[in-house]
């Protein structure tokens, strides 16, 4: 860069510039003589960097490209590879893993045929559909869970939340009749609905033990909440004797049903 500055400012002699920036005139003339050969080497080096970057599918950064060059027997430094990649606009792109929060694969399985295909007429409140809609906003996504009747189109339950957690399912069945809550959970594609449905069935079984003649049409879900549970920890081994802690959060679901006449 210093020699290029001297070359771009011919208003003063080379010796005067060299004394001012504390370089030698012989070094400046040697730089001029080797400039063409240096440019050829830089182009070849950039081609090697470009080749490794393309082979990685655009996922290698400067450190991994430099490591691959060393494996091939070439001299490489992180700073030089980083500079070459910046000059040629090579930036690594990593695809983020997106956790699937809804599971509707069972609805497309051979064990779950479409029972409505040959039905000419559907009675009201016999067939329900459930769906979770992702609504983009300026502050992130908002998630709306709706359960509606296919015959009339009436929305039986609706809940909007900022996170796709178990509370989204619990808020949908809260203050609902037990029989209606079972239908809502059965037609929900949320993974948490399976666990909550088992808990609801356990609560119904306990109620029948205490009162054998209980009427489910008069029982309502009066309390449903999910609190923070114990945190499971395990360690993933890393390089140089280090370890990475993996924390798996659990929750404690509370459900209460009562008979309301």
- Distance (Å, whole) CA 62 – CA 41: 19
**Which residue in 98, 99, 89 sits closest to 58, CA to CA?**
89
Work out the pLDDT band at 1, boundaries 50, 70, 90.
Answer: low
Between 76 and 100, name the one with better pLDDT. 76
Say if CB 166 and CB 225 are below 8 A apart. Answer: no
Task: Supply 214's token pair.
Answer: 């209980």
Q: What is the pLDDT of residues 79-120, one digit of tens each?
A: 888 989 998 888 887 655 555 555 555 555 565 566 666 666
Say if CB 112 and CB 106 are below 8 A apart. Answer: yes
**Which residue in 257, 138, 143 sits closest to 200, CA to CA?**
257
Say if CB 134 and CB 143 are below 8 A apart. Answer: yes
Site of tokens 């430094």? 77
Q: Which sign does the torsion angle of CA 76, 77, 78, 81 carry?
A: negative
For the domain bounded by 105-259, which CATH number is listed? 3.90.470.10
Q: Over the chain, what is the mean pLDDT?
A: 77
Does the structure show a pLDDT above 70 at 240? yes
Query: Domain map of the chain by residue range?
Result: 105-259
pLDDT at residue 120, as a whole number: 66
Q: What is the pLDDT of residues 185-212, one digit of tens each?
A: 776 666 777 888 888 888 888 888 888 8
Does the structure show a pLDDT above 60 at 176? yes
Q: What is the pLDDT of residues 28-65, one digit of tens each?
A: 777 777 777 777 888 888 999 999 998 888 888 888 88
């Amino acid at each position: 860069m210093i020699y290029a500055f001297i070359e771009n400012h011919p208003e003063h002699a080379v010796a005067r510039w060299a004394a001012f920036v504390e370089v030698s005139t012989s070094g400046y003339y040697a730089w001029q003589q080797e400039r063409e050969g240096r440019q050829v080497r830089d182009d070849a080096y950039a081609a090697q960097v470009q080749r490794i970057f393309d082979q990685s599918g655009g996922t290698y950064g400067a450190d991994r490209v430099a490591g691959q060059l060393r494996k091939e027997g070439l001299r490489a430094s992180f700073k030089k590879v980083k500079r070459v990649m910046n000059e040629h606009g090579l930036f690594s792109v990593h695809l983020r893993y997106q956790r699937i929060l809804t599971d509707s694969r069972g609805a497309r399985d051979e064990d779950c045929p479409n029972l409505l295909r040959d039905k000419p007429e559907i009675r009201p409140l016999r067939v329900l559909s459930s769906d979770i809609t992702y609504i983009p906003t300026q502050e992130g996504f908002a998630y709306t869970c709706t359960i509606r009747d296919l015959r009339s189109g009436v929305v039986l339950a609706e809940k909007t939340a900022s996170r796709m957690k178990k509370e989204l399912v619990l808020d949908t069945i809260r203050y609902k009749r037990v029989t209606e809550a079972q239908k809502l959970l059965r037609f929900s594609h949320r993974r948490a609905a399976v666990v909550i449905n088992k808990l609801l069935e356990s609560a119904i079984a306990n109620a029948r033990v205490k009162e054998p003649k209980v009427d489910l049409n008069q029982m309502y879900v009066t309390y449903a909440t999910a609190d923070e549970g114990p945190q499971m920890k395990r360690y993933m081994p890393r390089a140089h004797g280090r370890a990475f802690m993996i924390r798996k959060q659990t929750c404690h679901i509370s459900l209460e049903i009562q008979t309301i006449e």
